[in-house]
Amino acid sequence: MALEMKVPAVGESITEVTIAQWLKQDGDHVEMDEIICELESDKATFELTAEASGTLKIAAVDGETLEIGALICTIEEGDGAAETTSEAKTTGGTAQVAEAPKATGEVLEMKVPAVGESISEVTIASWVKQDGDFVELDEIICEIESDKATFELTAEASGTLEIVAGEGDTLEIGALICKIAVSEGAPVAVKETAAAAQAESTPSATAAGSQTYATGHASPAASKILSEKGIDPNSINGTGKDGRVTKEDALRAEKAAPKAAAAAPKAPVAAKETAPAAPAGDREQRHQKMTPLRKTIAKRLVSVKNQTAMLTTFNEVDMKPVMDVRKQYKDMFKEKHDIGLGFMSFFTKAVTVALKEWPAVNAMIDGDEIVYNDYCDVSIAVSAPKGLVVPVIRNAEKLSLAGIEQEVKRLALRARDNKLTIPEMEGGTFTITNGGVFGSMLSTPIINAPQSAILGMHNIVERPVAVNGQVEIRPVMYIALSYDHRIIDGRESVSFLKRVKELLEDPIRLLLDV
């Protein structure tokens, strides 16, 4: 009995996922709940586990983009699956020759398939097959790029390929991309036996004769990574099947140092006198595709700017009281809780207190209604290898400083390892972002929709300030609150930020709740 595994629902706003890599091979035996592949969405990477024990039959390859509910693989339950019998058998080292393919007279038109609700056009990245080649049913013939992902187009029948659109052409959904003159049967390659015999006598011929399309060609997932690194896939020795460059090869690859430019021929003396001096240094450019995560971030940020009445208010915080507390108790804190005492826990705790007093800052707009939240799910902006992610600390108002620090560390480590799940990033009511870790002095952070406000932290700089009529050098941080003016008035925003300032400049207030 074969169990069909389909792409699971991973979030309300996600309609498709991309297969990052298969951890198991087609035909492998897998155990129930064993991880078989990794899937990527525009928000996170997660693992797919086997729903039963049996033999794995892969239906979608690495880099392929599938809609939610699409078939991804089947598992033949039991001790083993039925073995596939080969159609061509060898006798004495010589391949049997089948009948030549027969044309049926039917010409199949292949058109650009629908790849997503919001995608209206695609671009042909590369043709795997050449015009006039014989192709098999379900054989990969070209790679197509959309604004969300790269995927492979497979032949819908066996026959002779006639290419209509060339590489780099942009086509609308439903446009003609190629034709296939349908044939019955397929040519049998008898060259394999001859090549093998020749390889025994000529080792150098083996390398050339054994190359296929896969040799030196990167999978879509690997191609995306190499493009981001600016590395030519042909310079990588692939470890996949037939030498295909896999995602692991791409992750390990390092860009080689540029070769020294060849010496230019000496120009005549007269030309040297009149020609302008060449500029010093390299003037090369390189283009790389935006990742799905980067595209989603860009789309969301532009949407927020266009759909909200965003405004930013500022204040400054004397960080000396918090720094004194940390200096006095950090060792005892570390010994008891096995976690460092950072600034984020103080800011998160101060924010949760201020949100209770100014609930509009913790609210959001839903159509014609304002939704007020009686809890504080604080989103923490974290810089991950693939881009900015915003995991959520649930019910932060109920956590101690130690509890907040432990949750921040847990989420940051999962973000670094690309293991954050969709539920860990959904449902925040307020966001804190810390540009100070990169040296930012002041900024106007953009709201994390559908939330209504975001607090920006910045670097701490010693500045001269007036304290009780005296000029003193104090560690000062500028803080910024960006908010949606449709729901939060100026009085509320300024009062909220002032309350956060008061709590940080007198941390005892956090303990006494005053």
> With helix as H, strand as E and coil as C, how does 306-322 read?
HHCCEEEEEEEEECHHH
Task: Give the alpha-carbon dihedral of 231, 232, 233, 239, to 10 degrees.
Answer: -60
Instruction: Tell me how far apart the alpha carbons of residues 69 and 55 are, in angstroms, rounded to a whole number.
Output: 21
Of 157, 184, 211, the residue that ends a domain is 184
Q: Per the confidence metrics, is the pTM higher than 0.75?
A: no
Statement to judge: residues 180 and 206 lie in one domain: no
Statement to judge: residues 169 and 25 lie in one domain: no
Residues acting as catalytic residues:
485, 489
Structure confidence at residue 7 as a pLDDT band (50, 70, 90): confident
CA atoms within 13 A on the CB side of 415: 22
Instruction: Tell me how far apart the alpha carbons of residues 7 and 68 are, in angstroms, rounded to a whole number.
Output: 5
Statement to judge: residues 165 and 65 lie in one domain: no
Statement to judge: residues 377 and 465 lie in one domain: yes
Statement to judge: residues 442 and 407 lie in one domain: yes
pLDDT at residue 442 tops 90: yes
CA distances from 235 to 161, 253, 508 (A): 29, 10, 61
- Domains in the chain: how many in total? 4
Structure confidence at residue 191 as a pLDDT band (50, 70, 90): very low
What pLDDT is attached to residue 452? Answer: 94
The average confidence (pLDDT) of the chain is 81
Query: Is 444 among the domain residues?
Result: yes
Element (H, E) at 337: helix 320-337
Could you tell me the residue range of the domain that residue 112 belongs to?
98-184
Residue 297: name the closest of 425, 187, 403 by CA.
Answer: 425
Structure confidence at residue 323 as a pLDDT band (50, 70, 90): very high
Q: Coil, strand, or helix at residue 127?
A: strand
Statement to judge: residues 40 and 153 lie in one domain: no
Query: Is 67 among the domain residues?
Result: yes
Tell me the average pLDDT across 260-271: 47
